[in-house]
């Protein structure tokens, strides 16, 4: 299936039903279909041929998301750009991914104007909500194009090229095919609860997980309620108002939700599935969410194998007797049914169940490769498996446990210490909102374990008391030798804690 086929499938189940909703304004499936025909024709009139790359730079917006389907209908390839990127990163993506046309929101006009002289391949600029001296307005660009059916066949199965996070260098273009997205969609629909016509609330950026989760919703003719900016109070109101059945938040925002004064008074009875993912979650806060929100559902994937490497349904969070399966809360769920997962050692050999090593994946969920980067593609697919860069293990029930990023493992006093285990122990303390654990060079230990903590609102952190708390839970070897308390932690555009930035600041503070 092409991306636009999910829209057309939803329209076949009810063309007049709401498809995209924002600020209580609905676009029906027929409205979005008609707009996608016009956008596809506009792309063709602008010289975009099947297989060409088209970028979208916008916050959450129904018209911007409708452009995804117009790009697909024109046989072109969608290049989503994270609106939180810096200008230099966007310039690199637009040039390196060979984008010929950019659709953007006027809030990014200053950035686009600065970088466009350095983008010779970018032939057309279209502003979605304004007329600018250097860009056509969306309305002017579509002037004279009606909503009659317009289709162009793509030259291959390439559907989209998102960029990797770029936290360890320049972003790589991940070539995701229609088959990748179809596999992800099938896994979503077979693995999680869907009763009736779903309503999905998108608070997180549609350029990332919140966007690709829209495709299974549309395949069922569901409604997508879009939030243009994060607001926990409004998030709760919209769940009640629209009787939301499905939503997704990263752990950092879930912590904010759990600390919000209105949570316990909100009517969340319509929720069937509250997905969490994109970063490790505190097992203690997850247990709290299970008590106060209920239908939590985990997903684990990465850009190169979107969303569904492993899955934990709401029911998987509980033991057969209905009690919370506490030991399982630190897992990433069971390996998905259409995915093969192995644990590999540094020699490229798969290790037995229960042993730790790099998590490797294969199957139709895995990308076609990195765009114009055969070296990185070969490295990521060594030994016939996709290498995730995560260290983990599989238990006897095929639940996957992620213990660290390979580059974040700490060797202290000759022992391997996995930062995620230490972070889970720290996050179990009632005063700790979030934390990061890294290793720094140490004359005595080789590396010493360093923890940087962020306090929960209204709580004060007693470093000695927290250190003793961790020592009692996981032992002295894994207990941080240095503990810092910061007001906040540096994060990537998708909310992941940037350990490289933390390490650099600590080294700088220590005088190099």
Could you list the mean pLDDT of each consecutive 10-residue stretch along the chain, which spans 512 residues?
Answer: 97 98 96 98 98 96 97 97 86 96 96 95 96 96 95 97 73 96 97 96 87 96 95 96 96 90 96 90 92 94 94 95 92 95 95 95 98 96 95 94 82 80 91 92 86 93 94 89 93 80 88 68
Alpha-carbon distance of 369 to 384, in angstroms, equals: 13
Q: Which CATH superfamily is domain 409-509 in?
A: ANL, C-terminal domain (3.30.300.30)
Give, for 144, the enclosing helix (H) or strand (E): none
For 43-123, where are the E strands, in sequence order? 53-57, 77-81, 99-104
Burial class (CB within 10 angstroms; exposed 0-12, middle 13-18, buried 19+) of 226? buried
For 166-222, where are the E strands, in sequence order? 174-177, 199-202
Strand partners, 386: 361
Nearest alpha-carbon partner for 65 in 27, 30, 106, 97: 27
Measured in residues, the chain has a length of 512
Nearest alpha-carbon partner for 32 in 60, 79, 82, 68: 68
**Alpha-carbon Rg of the chain, whole angstroms?**
23
- 3-state secondary structure at position 467: helix
Alpha-carbon distance of 218 to 197, in angstroms, equals: 9
* pLDDT of 40: 98
For 4-138, where are the E strands, in sequence order? 18-22, 25-28, 53-57, 77-81, 99-104, 124-127, 136-137
Chain region(s) in the chain for CATH 3.30.300.30: 409-509
Chain region(s) in the chain for CATH 3.40.50.980: 29-176
DSSP states along 51-71: T-EEEEE-SS-HHHHHHHHHH
To 5 degrees, how large is the angle CA 190–CA 196–CA 199?
90
Q: How far lies 470's CA from each of 44, 300, 428, 481, 486, in Å?
A: 61, 27, 9, 11, 18
Provide φ and ψ at 103, rounded to 5°.
-100, 125
Q: 435 with 491: CB under 8 angstroms?
A: no
Alpha-carbon distance of 186 to 200, in angstroms, equals: 17
For 106-238, where are the E strands, in sequence order? 124-127, 136-137, 158-160, 174-177, 199-202, 223-226
Alpha-carbon distance of 70 to 16, in angstroms, equals: 19
Q: Residue 428 contacts by C-beta under 8 Å, 6 or more apart in sequence?
A: 282, 283, 284, 469, 473
Diameter of the chain measured on Cα atoms: 74
Per CATH, is 29-176 categorized as 3.30.70.100? no
Reported for 486-489, long-range contacts at CB under 8 A and 24+ positions apart, including other chains, are 486/452, 486/453, 486/454, 487/454, 488/454, 489/434, 489/435, 489/436, 489/452, 489/454
Q: 386 with 363: CB under 8 angstroms?
A: no
* pLDDT of 352: 95
Reported for 381-389, long-range contacts at CB under 8 A and 24+ positions apart, including other chains, are 382/348, 383/344, 383/348, 385/342, 385/344, 385/360, 385/361, 386/304, 386/305, 386/360, 386/361, 386/362, 387/344, 387/358, 387/360, 388/302, 388/304, 388/305, 388/309, 388/358, 388/359, 388/360, 388/361, 389/358
Alpha-carbon distance of 303 to 174, in angstroms, equals: 7
Nearest alpha-carbon partner for 306 in 436, 221, 230, 214: 214
- Helix %, strand %, coil % of the chain (to 5): 35, 25, 40
Q: 338 with 317: CB under 8 angstroms?
A: no
């Amino acid at each position: 299936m092409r991306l636009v086929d999910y829209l057309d499938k939803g329209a076949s189940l009810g063309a007049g039903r709401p498809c995209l909703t924002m600020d209580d304004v609905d676009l029906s499936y027929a409205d979005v279909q008609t707009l996608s025909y016009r956008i596809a024709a506009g792309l063709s009139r602008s010289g975009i041929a099947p297989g060409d790359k088209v970028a979208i730079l916008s916050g959450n917006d129904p018209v911007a998301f409708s452009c995804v389907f117009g790009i697909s209908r024109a046989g072109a390839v969608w290049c989503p750009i994270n609106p939180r990127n810096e200008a230099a990163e966007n310039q690199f993506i637009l040039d390196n991914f060979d984008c010929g046309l950019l659709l953007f929101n006027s809030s990014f006009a200053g950035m686009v104007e600065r970088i466009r002289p350095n983008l010779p391949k970018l032939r057309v600029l279209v502003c979605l909500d304004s007329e600018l001296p250097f860009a056509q307005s969306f309305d002017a660009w579509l002037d004279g194009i009606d909503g009659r059916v317009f289709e162009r066949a793509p030259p291959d199965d390439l559907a989209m090229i998102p960029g990797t996070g770029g936290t360890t260098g320049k972003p790589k273009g991940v070539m995701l095919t229609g088959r990748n997205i179809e596999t992800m969609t099938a896994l979503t629909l077979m693995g999680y609860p869907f009763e009736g016509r779903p309503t999905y609330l998108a608070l997180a950026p549609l350029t990332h997980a919140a966007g690709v989760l829209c495709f299974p919703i549309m395949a069922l003719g569901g409604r997508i309620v879009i939030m243009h900016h994060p607001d926990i109070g409004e998030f709760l109101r919209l769940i009640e108002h629209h009787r939301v059945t499905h939503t997704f938040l990263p752990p950092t925002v879930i912590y904010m939700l759990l600390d919000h004064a209105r949570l316990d008074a909100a009517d969340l009875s319509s929720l069937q599935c509250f997905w969490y993912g994109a970063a490790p979650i505190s097992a203690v806060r997850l247990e709290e969410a299970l008590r106060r929100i209920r239908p939590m559902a985990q997903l684990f994937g990465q850009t190169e194998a979107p969303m569904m490497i492993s899955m934990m349904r709401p029911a998987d969070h509980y033991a057969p007797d209905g009690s919370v399966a506490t030991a399982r809360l630190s897992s990433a769920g069971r390996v998905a049914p259409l995915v093969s997962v192995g644990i590999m050692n540094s020699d490229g050999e798969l290790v037995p169940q229960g042993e730790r090593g790099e998590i490797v994946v294969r199957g139709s969920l895995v990308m076609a490769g990195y765009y114009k980067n055969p070296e990185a593609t070969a490295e990521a697919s060594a030994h016939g498996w996709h290498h995730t860069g995560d260290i983990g293990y599989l238990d006897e029930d095929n639940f996957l446990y992620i213990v660290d990023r390979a580059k974040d493992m700490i060797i202290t006093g000759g022992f391997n210490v996995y930062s995620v285990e230490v972070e889970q122990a720290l996050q179990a303390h009632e005063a700790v909102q979030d934390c990061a654990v890294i290793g720094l060079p140490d004359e005595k230990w080789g590396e010493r374990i360093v923890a940087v903590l962020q306090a929960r609102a209204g709580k004060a952190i007693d470093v000695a008391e927290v250190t003793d708390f961790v020592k009692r839970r996981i032992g002295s070897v894994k207990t941080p030798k240095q503990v810092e308390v910061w007001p906040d932690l540096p994060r990537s555009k998708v909310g992941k804690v940037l350990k490289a930035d933390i390490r650099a600041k600590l080294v700088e503070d220590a005088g190099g």
